[in-house]
Amino acid sequence: MAVNSNKTFLVLVICLLLSESILGTVQLFATVPENAGAGETVLSVLSAIGETRESDGRNFRGEEVLCKIVDGNKNGRFRATAGCVLQVARPLDYSVDPSYNLTVNVTVNVTVTVQVQVQDVEGYPPVYNDTCEMPIRRGESRSGDLIFDVRWQAEAVVRPGGVMFFDQYEFFDRSTAYGHSSTATNDCTAWLVWDVGHAVQIRQFMDVWDSNLRCFKCFHTQHDTATFQVGIINRHRGKSACTFLDHLGVSRTQSNVHFRVAYLLKLVSARGHYFTCSLPGDVSVTTVVGAMMAEVSHPFANVHVQPVGCPPKKYGLLCDQNCTCENGARCHGLNGACKCQPGWQGVVCDIPHNTVAITATSSDSERIYITGSLVLNCKAFHLTAAKMIWTFPNKTEKWLQGTVEDRVRIESIQPEHNGTYTCTAVTEDGRVVRASFELQAVECPPGKTGELCAEPCDCPRGASCHRWAGCVCPVGWTGPRCRTPCPGGTYGEDCSSECRCQNQATCAPTDGRCNCSAGWFGPDCSVPCPAGLYGWRCRYDCGCKNNATCHHVDGSCTCVPSWSGQLCDVKTDENTFPFLLQIVIPLTLTLLISIALVVTLFTRNRANNQIGVNHEEEMALLELQNIEEDMAESLQPGWLNKWEKKVKDLRMGELIGLGAFAQIRKGHLCTDGAKVAVAVKSVRGEDRQFYRAFCREVASLIVVHQEGGGHANIVRLFGVITKSTPKCILLEYAAKGDLSVILKQQPGQDGGFPLADLLRYAVHISCALKELRRLRIAHGDVAARNVLVSGDDVAKLADFGLAHDVYTANAYVSADRRGVDELLPLKWMSLESLETRKFTCDSDTWSFGVLLWEIAAFGEEPNYEQEIQLSCPKLVGLLRQGVRLQKPPGCTDRLYDVMASCWREEPSARPEPIELEQKLTECRHELDPLLVVELETLV
């Protein structure tokens, strides 16, 4: 039996040797680029074996052959198909594994060794650049599918209309746009192309193309490397003279696309970028503005690019690519590059990495503060640690045996805890792997200050706290408690930036924007009004004739020879001087005698009149000082007399508003040879309360006009009549009436103007409140009934003092104050105004929130808990309990959030008008994504 067994074994060995000598082992070679996708062919094994065996007269055609990779396939990067084809199974990475030696068993008794060389591909894998790491978007983007919000802010001279502003977000969708990005360098570059398809936009771009505004560049205010370039491509005429278009390889547009716009953007961080665009000053375009044709010239533009990121698991400029990162890796929003978690590596973070890592978890999720708690977790990934050693900043150690994970907890971080924490893992074969974490906790948690972060830091205006310095003021404010606005000529953080405004322009303390004086415009107010225009924001047409020169500030005319008169419309005869001289000489003696008598009488009458004028002004000023001392101090000498008009120049018309002590009539005022439609508001001066309201309204409007020349969203003042009874205010006539009437005429969301259109009036009033805040004037009664709408559909804030009587309605309720018969708009008043009867700009913000409610409710009267009439004490009690107006039917959550922010109990926590303007614009886009913000008369 033993002999037979030995013989059998010998035969088997001989057969194996013969088989090996006949077929042997085949050595094959292959190359594959590292960016090869899953399923891409590396090598056909049967074809390669067939070629090597042709000399033996053998091949495997017609035979059923199976292949299996048995060795060398590290991390499963390759697979063999049923037809013996080697394919890429998982993403390759040259930096991790540049080559593979695969052993493949073939069922025809052939062992194949395949040496696969991975080729390094330039620009692959994509680089995860932390410089421009995008956030993850959780809500809607204002610019559609784009990974950025692109906001254009521009000003230009529009005829007719003067200097106008527009502020809108550019909207992109995947059907009309495509793009690419690169993050390989220190900056992050993205280019985007979108097709112009809307008929109105095509017309506008045709006008822009014909004006030679085809390529321009915008520069970052602080970083030279950050740029934003724009180029236009015309289907019929090709590209503009933009060199970056050649670099991008952007060709002519498709046959069905008229214009294509290309953007090249270079970012230096993931924060918002504010660019100032360089536009030629001689550009003039005739295009549609609102609903009419207008000439637009002298443009200035800024663009704000704010990264908003893509939704989870998406990336790309238009968020149209799927992220492939695995094992908890973070996907870069621009190019899809993966930022691996500890213990993983490779293109998609699916290759194990033998390492040790420390992760820190703070009680304050984003930052590590003194007195906060911290957990340091050390973990060994994909290796077996025989022992683990912690080394602390004080040089003490903690030893652990046979563990791969351990954590250290610091309950209350103090300065002595700062330093280097090291975790060392030693494997069974003696290999040492370590990781370190540097703790530098030097800041106090929010609301705390001092060396031990134990002192409270109650800073107003949303200011943050510094451990040593106390309050860190927000932009535009300074002082130990951040209560002082930036002094004149400065703005920004720490008031460290110098204003660039020229020609007596005022500078906003927050962002340095200039409010130009009359006759000037432009970002720094250095550009005079174009020929033919003058005044504030160049809104007035010059009347000068016969080639006269018009002064850009006040519109005065400088006549050419042979013409005279205020408008240079009187012909001067050069030969009449001798004739006039002959007339003057005989009359000289007669005139000298007459002058002596006239001067005596004139001087006596003027003195009497001046006493009357001064008395009237002093009385008004005294009344005003009783209610608003700050406003009284800001009035210039002669403030009332300057605006005085003559009764004979006024023609009264129909009655349009009536109250017990005041009324409004439509009238016409003859001024400078022209007849202007006005609203004449009159009040009986005998009643002390209403005379005081009269003084306040006049003073408020005069301050608005004397400080900035008026405001497009505040009713215009034409003059006053105070020397007769009744006393009158002459105001701009609003052809469409007040907003409350307009709202009540709307049949809701099923017809009439949609809510998005009505919200444009709210945007207008937010601009008015912004101007009043700048002038430190509180309106005191912001409501739909006090908003007038002009014939060109611009909302204007009105009624700074008399609305309580002129509009007789249930809106005004007795304040129940002993000895004072005072009517107040309780349901529009802020909590602090109800309790103190004092009105501020912050209380105006509360009232503005109620105005938004009126708009969303299409003119319904506000009510708390379904009660129409509420006493002042009961309303205060409800508000103190947190009760607020409920969301109207059909109102979006975003719009109601804006309202609710206006009703915050703490006045300083309410949003400022500029923030309200931005949020309302966002609400309009949410209601109507295709909404195009027109060039409106906004500030």
Res 577: pLDDT: 46
Angle at CA of residue 59, ends 58 and 60, nearest 5°: 135
The mean pLDDT of the chain is: 81
Same domain, 636 and 697: yes
337 burial (CB, 10 Å; 0-12 / 13-18 / 19+) is buried
Which of 383, 407, 439 terminates a domain? The answer is 439
Helix (H) or strand (E) holding 670: strand 662-671
Helix segments in 571-715, DSSP class H: 577-627, 629-634, 688-708
- Which CB contacts under 8 angstroms, 24+ apart, belong to 610-614? 612/723, 613/641, 613/644, 613/723
Q: What are 101's strand-pairing partners? A: 115
Phi-psi region of 721 (alpha: psi -120 to 50; beta: other; left: phi over 0): beta
| 498 in a structural domain | no
Percentage of the chain with pLDDT > 70?
Answer: 80
**CATH number of 918's domain:** 1.10.510.10
Rounded CA Rg of the chain: 39
Helix (H) or strand (E) holding 759: helix 755-775
Better-predicted residue by pLDDT, 237 or 579: 237
Res 576: pLDDT: 46
| Residue 350: pLDDT over 90 | yes
CA distance 384 to 377: 17
Res 6: pLDDT: 39
**CATH number of 641's domain:** 3.30.200.20
| Residue 608: pLDDT over 50 | no
Per DSSP, 505 falls in state -
CA distance 449 to 471: 9
Res 636: pLDDT: 61
Same domain, 834 and 927: yes
Split into its structural domains, the chain has a count of 5
Res 432: pLDDT: 95
**Nearest one of 650, 73, 634 to 351, comparing CA atoms:** 73
Same domain, 156 and 90: no
| Residue 575: pLDDT over 70 | no
pLDDT, tens digit, 9 for 90 and up, residues 734-771: 989 899 988 887 654 444 458 888 999 999 999 999 98
What mean pLDDT do residues 77-91 have? 94
| 574 in a structural domain | no
| Residue 13: pLDDT over 50 | no
Which of 418, 439, 460 terminates a domain? The answer is 439
Measured over the CA atoms of residue 264, residue 267, residue 273 and residue 276, the dihedral's sign is: negative
Same domain, 376 and 272: no
| Residue 551: pLDDT over 90 | yes
Cβ-contact 16, 31 below 8 angstroms = no
Res 242: pLDDT: 74
Cβ-contact 310, 60 below 8 angstroms = no
**CATH number of 380's domain:** 2.60.40.10
Range of the domain at 848: 737-939
Per DSSP, 250 falls in state -
pLDDT, tens digit, 9 for 90 and up, residues 176-195: 887 878 776 667 888 888 88
What mean pLDDT do residues 689-708 have? 78
User: Lowest-confidence range among 648-662, 741-755, 892-906, 914-928?
Assistant: 741-755
Measured over the CA atoms of residue 577, residue 578, residue 581 and residue 583, the dihedral's sign is: negative
| Residue 900: pLDDT over 70 | yes
> Coil, strand or helix: which one is 804?
helix
Residue 113 sits at φ, ψ, to 5 deg, of: -105, 120
Same domain, 221 and 282: yes
Assign 294 a pLDDT band (cuts: 50, 70, 90): confident
| 465 in a structural domain | no
Which of 733, 752, 771 terminates a domain? The answer is 733
Dihedral angle, C-alpha 573, 575, 576, 580, nearest 10 °: 150
DSSP structure string for 140-190:
--TTBT-SEEEEEEEEEEEETTEEEEEEEE--B-TTTEEEEEE-SSSSEEE
> How does 627-659 read in b/e, with b if 16+ C-beta sit within 10 Å?
ebeebbebbeeebbeebebeeeebeeeeebbeb
Res 408: pLDDT: 94
Same domain, 269 and 141: yes
Retrieve residue 823's tokens: 């009517």
Cβ-contact 60, 50 below 8 angstroms = yes
Same domain, 842 and 706: no
Residues ≥6 apart with Cβ < 8 Å to 345: 93, 96, 351, 352, 353
| 328 in a structural domain | no
Q: Quickly count: other Cβ atoms within 10 Å of residue 436's Cβ.
A: 12
Is the pTM of the predicted complex or chain greater than 0.85?
Answer: no
Res 609: pLDDT: 43
| 548 in a structural domain | no
Same domain, 105 and 139: no
Cβ-contact 74, 100 below 8 angstroms = yes
What mean pLDDT do residues 229-244 have? 73
**Nearest one of 744, 749, 784 to 764, comparing CA atoms:** 784
Assign 251 a pLDDT band (cuts: 50, 70, 90): low
Percentage of the chain with pLDDT > 90?
Answer: 34
| 897 in a structural domain | yes
**CATH number of 69's domain:** 2.60.40.60
pLDDT, tens digit, 9 for 90 and up, residues 404-446: 899 999 999 998 999 999 999 999 889 999 999 999 998 888 8
Same domain, 171 and 270: yes
Same domain, 30 and 65: yes
CA distance 527 to 516: 10
**Nearest one of 651, 777, 643, 624 to 714, comparing CA atoms:** 777
* Amino acid in the structure at residue 68: K
Cβ-contact 183, 132 below 8 angstroms = yes
End-to-end alpha carbon distance in the chain:
110
CA distance 489 to 509: 9
pLDDT, tens digit, 9 for 90 and up, residues 132-181: 899 999 888 888 889 999 998 888 888 877 888 777 888 888 888 878 78
| 804 in a structural domain | yes
Assign 643 a pLDDT band (cuts: 50, 70, 90): confident
Res 18: pLDDT: 35
CA distance 448 to 921: 36
CA distance 151 to 171: 9
| 890 in a structural domain | yes
Cβ-contact 796, 824 below 8 angstroms = no
Same domain, 633 and 729: yes
- Ligand-binding site membership of 681 (annotated): yes
**Nearest one of 424, 423, 513, 419 to 770, comparing CA atoms:** 513
Same domain, 787 and 717: no
